[in-house]
Structures are given as structure tokens and as C-alpha cells.
Amino acid sequence: MNEILLQGGEHNGWPTPRSLKRLLWSAAGACALGGLYAWRLEDHWLRIERRDMPLRGLSPEFEDARLAHVADLHCSPIVLESYLRQCVDTINAMGVDFVAVTGDFITGPKCYARRVARVLRHLAPKVATVACLGNHDYGIFHPKGLGSARDLHCYVSEQLAHADLFVMLNESRTFRRGGASLQFVGVEDLWSPHYDPDQAFGHVQADAPVIGLCHNPDAAHDLSHRGAQWILAGHTHGTCIRSTAIRKLALPASFHYFAGHYDLGDGSNLYVNRGLGYGKRVNLNSRPEITVFTLKRSG
């Protein structure tokens, strides 16, 4: 694991009006993003995980290709464009082939869709950036649909498409090198009324490896049962919160996957990224994360 400390803000001497304003926004964000913020030093201390991604049926043409995975950007009054741009620069410096973004691009109104697209258009993978949406990309979203904003997810998708991201709304994308194929499948958020894994896998080839993208890790089993060997998710911010009767009613979770790698059995794997946005950071294990996978052939 490598770590990079991103610089952020004026912290020398007495607070400036700008830093006080950010402090007030941070206090508001503790409620707006549903959790407490850690100190700024920890907030911007990027955790870079490097892992192999073994895939059955991977052709030599894609062996050793690299995939950067991020989630939960939450571009908002709290998570600033300047910070996210530094994260983009860090990814670009790695020279990866693919970037995968698994949802929660924004927290707030439509203007933040334009802002996050403005940041992400600077991503420069060798091949492509693929993505799926998260619950906050539909509004301040509850499992029962409370707090959804009409057509917000369509607007977010359009803005990201203009920034050259392939946003998969229950669909797949196939990339080819020579005669070899690598497939990505993305579903709409599990809590949205549009979630449809059957539609997403409707055009998937059985003879080429599949990497699935979902925001909520509770959807991972749906994707693995349909043939995804690896599922990339986010949503949790790397935090395991003790289950209570009230929490189960408000934010139901079935499998309680919260950070890192999980073996789902039958050759399927789940990886839950801790996210880039710096809400809900309560311990060192949940620092903002970029995961870099190296694709490997598996027997």
C-alpha cells in the first residue's frame, strides 16, 4: 500500500476568513453527508491500494493492463473541486489503461454535476473511463425513494458523458484488442427504481471476462450470479457501522461488506473502495482511497 498526502488549504498561523468558512461548511457537512469528518490531514491522506485482479478467460492482449478504481467523490460545498483535481492528477500519473468510478459523483443540486464533470474530463486513461451511478446521484436518496430529485440521474449521466465517461445505466461495454474482449457491466443504484441487472447483462458474451460495477455492495451477489468475476463497489466510505433496529429500518443492508476485498465464492470477488470524498471518516482504515488493479490471467 502506498500513501500520498495531498495539500489542502491555509493552515499556518491564525485562521483566515476563507478557512473559517470552510470550517463552517465542514460542520454542516457532518450532517449533510451523514457522518463526522476526521481532521483535514487525515481527510486528504490518500490511501493507494495496489492489487492483482485474476480473471478467467483473460486474453494475453489484456494481461497486465491496469485499472484504477475510485468511488464516492461527493462533489459538493464540502468536497472541493481542487481536491478532486489533485486526485485526478494522481491517477493520471499512474498511466493506467482504465478508470472505473462506482457512483456518488455529487451531493447537492445539478450545478455540482457540471463541476464534477469539469474535473473528471481531465482523466487520461489509455483506453477509457467507465462508471455507474450511486444513490446520491439521484438526490439525497433513501432506500424507499425519499429525497430523490426528478431526472437528476439523467442530468448527471449527460454531464459525465460530455466529459468522456462511459456511464452504464443497466448496460455493458466491451473493449477489444485484436481479437480479445474485456467487458464491463454497470447497474443503476440498488435503491433506485431503475435497478435492473437482467437488462445490464442482456448483451454480455459468455466467453469473455466481465468486471461488474455497482455502487452499493449489497448488489454484488446479483452481478456475480450473472457472470461477473469481479465486482467493484463503494457506498460505505470504508466504515462499518453497528447494525441497530432503527438503522435497519432507515438504511437496510443485507451483507455488510464495508471495505476491501471479499471472496464471494464460485470464483467471484468483490472489492469495496473507501471513496475519495472525505465524509464519514472516523478512523485511519477509512482514509480516501484509489485502488489500482493489475489484470492477470487465471486458470
Alpha helices in 3-148 (DSSP H): 17-32, 40-43, 81-94, 111-120
At residue 16, the pLDDT reads: 53
- Cell output for 87: 486526485
22 assigned to some structural domain:
no
Q: Is residue 95 part of a domain?
A: yes
In whole angstroms, give the CA distance from residue 44 to residue 120. 18
Residuewise pLDDT in 10s, the chain (299 residues): 544 444 443 334 444 555 444 444 444 444 444 333 333 444 568 999 999 999 999 999 999 999 999 999 999 999 999 999 999 999 999 999 999 999 999 999 999 999 999 999 999 999 999 999 999 999 988 888 889 999 999 999 999 999 999 999 999 999 999 999 999 999 999 999 999 999 999 999 999 999 999 999 999 999 999 999 999 999 999 887 655 555 555 555 565 788 999 999 999 999 999 999 975 554 556 789 999 999 999 97
- Predicted TM-score (pTM) of the model is 0.85
Looking at the domain assignment, is residue 26 inside a domain? no
> Which DSSP category does 197 fall into?
H
Q: Is residue 269 part of a domain?
A: yes
- Tell me which residue range forms the domain holding 40: 36-298
Number of alpha carbons in the 13 Å side-chain half-sphere of residue 206: 1
Closest CA to 37 of 8, 4, 3: 8
β strands within 25-148, DSSP E: 45-56, 66-70, 98-102, 128-132
Within-domain flag for 141: yes
Q: Is residue 19 part of a domain?
A: no
Residue type for position 101:
V
Please indicate, yes or no, if residue 222 is contained in any of the structural domains: yes
> Total domain count for the chain?
1
Residue showing cell 481479437: 179
pLDDT, residue 279, reads: 58
CATH number of the domain that residue 231 is part of: 3.60.21.10
pLDDT of residue 130: 98
Spatial contact of 296 and 52, defined as CB atoms under 8 Å apart: yes
User: Is 2 within the bounds of a domain?
Assistant: no
